[in-house]
Structure 1
Amino acid sequence: MNLPPDELQAIRVAARWYARLHSGIATDADRTDWRTWLAADPLHSQAWQRMAAVAEQMASVPGALAAPTLSDTHQRSRRQVLRSALLLTSAGGLGWLGWRSQATQNLFCDYRTAVGERRAFQLADGSTVLLNTDTSINVRFDGQQRRLELLRGEVLVTTAVDPLRRPFKVVTGPAEVLALGTRFIVRSQAWGGEVAVLEKAVEVSLLASGSRMRVEAGQRLDFNEQSLGALRGNDVSVGAWQKGSIIAIDRPLAALLEELSRYRPGVLRWDPAIGDLKVSGVFPVDNTDLALAALESGFSLRVTRYSRFWVQVSAGHRR
């Protein structure tokens, strides 16, 4: 990323101030000088906000993984902290790129959930949204429309009657979903997305081509940039996450593990040789270790935990 020289310099100075203030040896005079620098130029304030955003993102990294970043500053020298801060904020540094990444940009969305979290919000018009794990949305209401932008993850929307009769739309990736007085789920995927309707109906439109399709209660639809998929019926697995479960019915193990990985931090890997094994059952998303233990005992698998954040699933010994 190429930044203007004055902006890059402000970021570097902000990194030095961050290192100083978090070194454990900052004085009252240092804090006074920092406030003076901060107020001297709007670029300084912007650079400091960016530095703080990177620090917040790094603070959410699990302890062992965060060791080389900005955590544990009281146990490290000012020079070590400064080196990390400069790495995070340099034009080519991984931390600065991370701030520009989608994950870090989500820090500035209107509503979001962490990995493993589900949370409900009521919007200004009385509609409610239930965000699944690792989900972020923006809400844009004006006099003409009610618009929800699904940046990542999955959301259950229950629309309220609007006295102004403004349409309620959810936009994610290549598609727009128009609510027709309804409850529905939208999930963003790398390849496009999915819509499942629980009550009433929605209309799904591709933004590029204008192709559209009505989806009724009890139906679901996949979409990508090029096309809308075929309508399919909902089954008991649709929306089971609302009550903290994944319901699998003859589901390939690889697909189930990929779904479980959404609810746990770190890395969950599996041997491709067992990926096609068909699995049925109800698995808790609030305790993925328990879900893995159930798979291990019920399907003759071996779960190897290299650490809390690195788990491998492979074939076990047949009884």
Structure 2
Amino acid sequence: MTSLGDTPQDVALAAVDRHIAQLAGELDPTELCAWLAADERHQRAWQHIQSTNQQFGAALNPAARAALLAPSGAQRRRAVKALGLLLFSGSLATVGYQLPWRERLADIRTDTGEHRSLTLPGGAQLEVNTASAINLEYTASGLQLRLLQGELLLNTSATNISVVTAQGVLRPQATRFAVLQRDGRSQVDVLSGAVAIYPAQASGLAGVLQAGQSAHFDERQLSAVQPTDAQRFAWTQGMLVASSMPLGQFVQTLARYRPGYLGCDPTIAQLQISGSYPLASTDRILTSLTQSLPVRLQSLSRYWVRLVPASAA
């Protein structure tokens, strides 16, 4: 069998074909995970493509554009093969198109309001929350989940899996835990087991969170440990649960599941709200708020909505 560099041709082209599907937003994360788990050569080929993109600033050359735009059949196969030759020969001198967002090219991603459940190579169970992006990276120490944005919940007994955020590295110890990356920090909630936290710019281990504990960290340090709020993870069941939650906090959370702008007037932000709300329809949730609280909706369009006092002009 001929090869592209050190990679067998059939493996390289299969990896490139999945890369094209990724660019087009058609990549099935479950199928990708199964393909990666089937053969170590698949993992190496996929990692090579991701590393090449990072090295060249996630650039898309004309061959990749041709593969993305080509119809199915012989024309697409030729374009995919041309891209494979470039990616696996190291010849990327003619870079001509910059990919817009690395999150859009992530191995696993969810749109606003979307939730996914996946089984990773090795059997770990992964839940991915709304508007999230994750890359799968294989290193000498095992599988890394690089959380580019958003939130994940991981259930694993493996010792060779870790989660990396912009703020540092998390190493789980037979655990079920969640990581939310937002506002320049990472929040960690441990539901079972334990998680060791290594901030990116710290000298080493900052702390170990045990079951029932929550904390956030930046590049340098870990915050004070707090009890975790299990209701926060109702999103894994498609629900948003509130118990005497300030309306402003509720709206801020709900906004993560709704495209466009959703805001709350500061004069009503401290109103208390309790209940369980299906996330399948944020419009219904907003309507229910106007029926249970002295508020109304101020809308310029479906993509610009604000809660204001019912008495506001």
TM-score range, shorter-chain basis? 0.5 to 0.7
Q: Residue type matched to 2:105 in 1?
A: F
| Structure in which a larger fraction of residues adopt strand | 2
Classify 1:44/1:146 alpha carbon distance in 2 versus 1 (closer, same or farther; 3 Å): closer
Is 1:223 matched with 2:220?
no
Give 1:169's match in structure 2, choosing from 155, 162, 167: 162
Q: Secondary structure at the match of 1:227?
A: coil
CA contact (8 A) 2:200 2:220 kept: no
| 1:153 match: secondary structure | strand
Q: How far 1:309 sits from its partner (Å)?
A: 1.2
Alignment-derived partner of residue 197 in structure 2: 204
Instruction: Give identity over the alignment, percent.
Output: 31
Q: Which residue of 2 aligns with 1:73?
A: none
Q: 1:237: Cα distance to partner?
A: 1.6
Note the residue ranges of structure 2 that are not aligned, 5 or more in a row: 1-59, 70-74
Aligned to 1:106: 103
Counterpart residue number, 1:184: 177
Task: Give the TM-score normalised by the residue count of structure 2.
Answer: 0.67
Match of 2:273 in 1: 279
Q: Which runs of 5+ in 1 are unaligned?
A: 1-10, 22-30, 51-95
Partner of 1:237: 231
- 1:260 maps to 2:254: yes
Describe the shift of the 1:141–1:125 C-alpha distance in structure 2 as closer, same or farther (beyond 3 A). Answer: farther
TM-score, L = length of structure 1: 0.66
Residue 160 (structure 1) shift:
4.0
Q: How does 1:1-319 map to 2 (within 5 A)?
A: 46-47=95-96, 50=97, 99-100=99-100, 104-161=101-158, 166-209=159-202, 210-317=204-311
Residue 130 (structure 1) shift: 0.9
The code of the aligned residue for 1:240 comes to A
Superposed CA deviations along residues 32-72 of structure 1, whole A, max 9, x for unmatched, are: xxx9xx99x9879853xx4xxxxxxxxxxxxxxxxxxxxxx
Deviation at 1:116, TM superposition (A): 0.4
Aligned residue in 2 for 1:62: none
Deviation at 1:190, TM superposition (A): 1.7
Question: Which amino acid in structure 1 is aligned with residue 268 of structure 2?
Answer: I
Q: For the pair shown, which has the larger CA radius of gyration, 1 or 2? A: 1
TM-aligned CA distance change 1:46 to 1:121, over 3 Å = farther
State how far apart, in whole Å, the 2-side matches of 1:236 and 1:106 are.
28
* Change in 2 beyond 3 A, CA 1:43/1:217: closer
Q: Report the 3-state secondary structure (helix = DSSP H, G, I; strand = E; otherwise coil) of the residue aligned with 1:265.
A: coil
Distance 1:144 1:211 in 2: 17
CA 1:274–1:169: 2 relative to 1, 3 Å? same
What RMSD over aligned residues (CA atoms) do the two structures have, in Å? Answer: 3.4
CA-CA distance at 1:290 after TM superposition? 1.1
Query: Alignment length, in residue pairs?
Result: 240
SS at match of 2:231: coil
* Residues 145 and 168, structure 1, Cα contact 8 Å, conserved in 2: yes
* CA distance in structure 2 between the partners assigned to 1:154 and 1:299 by the alignment: 30
Query: What is the alpha-carbon distance in structure 1 between the residues aligned to residue 300 and residue 263 of structure 2?
Result: 11
